[in-house]
Amino acid sequence: MNRRHFFRNSSLALAGTGLIGPQPLFAASAQKAKNIIFLVSDGMSTGTLHMANLYCERTLGRSSHWIQLYKDRKASRGLMDTQSANSIVTDSAAGSSAFGGGFKVNNGSLNIHPDGRENMPIWQKFKKAGKKAGIVTSVTATHATPAGFCVTSKSRNAEPEIAEKYLELGIDVVMGGGDEHFNAEHRKDKKDLYAAYAAKGYEVAKSRDELQKISAKKPLLAIFSSGAIPYAIDRENDPELKKTTPSLAEMAKSAIEVLSKHQNGFVLQIEGGKVDWAAHANDIAGLIYDQLAFDEAIKVAIDFAEKDKNTLVIMTTDHGNANPGTISGGKASEGFDSIRNYKKTNEWLLNQITKDTTASQIKDLIHATNGFAPTDEEIKSIKSYYDDIVRGEDGLYNYKKVPFKLYSEIQKKYNYIGWISMSHSSDHVEVAAYGPGSELLQPYCMNTDLHYLMLQAAEVPNSF
């Protein structure tokens, strides 16, 4: 059957019913994609992509894997509009729902159309087409971005219910953090979801060692932490965390190992969720190192796709965040290179300080962690937040009210990294594709377009 006619007919059968989205008319793909790996660096502004590559070039002596794909002309590339149904600035729930459901929805909801209609998530469509489906993330497995490919929910915050929905839907790989949503000791309803998954035939892993020992012959639930998984730089510089917690690339490799055994193919979403959290905190070490961890997951996906020859790999983000970037100055190069001396995230550093920490101790802590010696005035401004802890900064994922913004402004004097805010932004973002179906990617697209691109590339009709 002609592939253009296959997809068009399956879509037009529902035309006028309100059940399909505003689809672009793609040209026919030359080859069917058996598998799809969709990678999302959550909250990745273009400056984040650039600085990760700059760090690779200046410190590691190579390009990032994402940028190398561009240099080798192996990937299609486009700019993508990310706005949601009710705002030019999307949140992660609406952003993922655009990919997942093919429609723009209101911020905060998962695949619920503004008129109340439920949009079937794309991984459900692929499951109905006979493929295995999985999600991998560095935040909670039930967070907005992975959930947007799998479930419908009026609220992205219904994470305990989302954990149950994954099991009901038979999502074949569920991997990330979020023990509190699976553990009977922490769930309000006292349901033991670990036992429930195991009863349905899932292997359950709760550590890096257990992940490395899975048989890869059964569905997999792998939850490694309460809340999000530790930042990549904190994991890298903590032997215990490195021993017990897998990297995003290791999780991606295990997920592919489980899913790729299925003869009818698979679909997998991989999210670098803490890139977004670091941007919210204006935390440059957290940002760059988690983007690099995401970049290593890209390598895992591309290595598999190059060998497999039947896998479409898509790399993008759901939205920008804080628009970080290198700024002009006589020591801009030297300042950027100083980031290689950072040993921990700002989150880790600022949570070491209490109202009883002395100025001298703060100075020593910053020098040991970031490699520079703050001035007395800078130390005084930091200490003032802890003298009256109630006054600490607000901000998403700033649960302990530490002075993220203040400290990033101090760091800027030494590393020449600027930020426009601590919030999401509306700018166009990068999207790239490799493998069969990558030629369908247009130079400019809406986030909803990727939903239909995936369906066409794999010849899965939009008619369930």
- Enumerate residues 6+ apart whose C-beta is below 8 A from 463: 10, 11, 13, 14
- pLDDT tens across 203-220, in order? 999 999 999 999 999 999
C-alpha distances in angstroms, 160 versus 120, 155, 163, 169, 180? Answer: 20, 11, 5, 15, 8
Strand pairing category for 417-418 and 220-223 = unpaired
* pLDDT at residue number 389: 58
Fold exhibited by the domain 28-324+423-457: Alkaline Phosphatase, subunit A (3.40.720)
Instruction: For residue 372, report the phi and psi dihedrals to the nearest 5 degrees.
Output: -130, 160
Binding positions for Zn(2+) are 42, 276, 280, 318-319, 424
pLDDT of 391: 61
**Stretches in the chain below the pLDDT threshold 50:** 1-21, 23-25
152-199 pLDDT per residue, tens: 999 999 999 999 999 999 999 999 999 999 999 999 999 999 999 999
Q: Give the integer Cα–Cα distance in Å for 120 and 134.
A: 16
Tokens of 208: 């890096």
Domain ranges of the chain: 28-324+423-457, 340-418
Q: CA 333, 339, 345: angle at the middle one, nearest 5?
A: 155
Binding-site residue positions: 42, 143, 145, 271, 276, 280, 318-319, 424
At residue 27, the pLDDT reads 58
* Binding-site residues for Mg(2+): 42, 143, 145, 271
Inter-residue contact 420 to 71 (CB < 8 Å) = no
Task: Report how far apart, in Å, the C-alpha atoms of 87 and of each of 184, 260, 424 are.
Answer: 37, 38, 11
> Looking at the annotation, which residues are catalytic?
92
Whole-angstrom distance, CA of residue 251 vs CA of residue 174: 10
CB-CB neighbours of 240 under 10 Å? 8
CB 266, CB 133: distance < 8 Å: yes
Residue 56 pLDDT: 98
Asked if residue 95 lies in contact with residue 115, where contact means CB atoms within 8 angstroms, the answer is no
Beta bridge partners of 174: 135, 221
Q: What is the pLDDT of residue 265?
A: 98
Produce one character per residue of 327-344: b if its CB has 16 or more CB atoms within 10 Å, e if not.
eeeeeeeebbebbeebbb
266 three-class SS: strand
Q: How far is Cα 97 from Cα 102, in angstroms, rounded to an integer?
A: 7
Any residues with CB less than 8 A from the CB of 401 and at least 6 apart, and which?
A: 389, 390, 392, 393, 394
What is the Cα–Cα distance from 396 to 265, expressed in whole angstroms?
38
Return the pLDDT at 29: 61
User: What is the predicted pLDDT for the residue at 387?
Assistant: 83
Give 58's DSSP letter: I
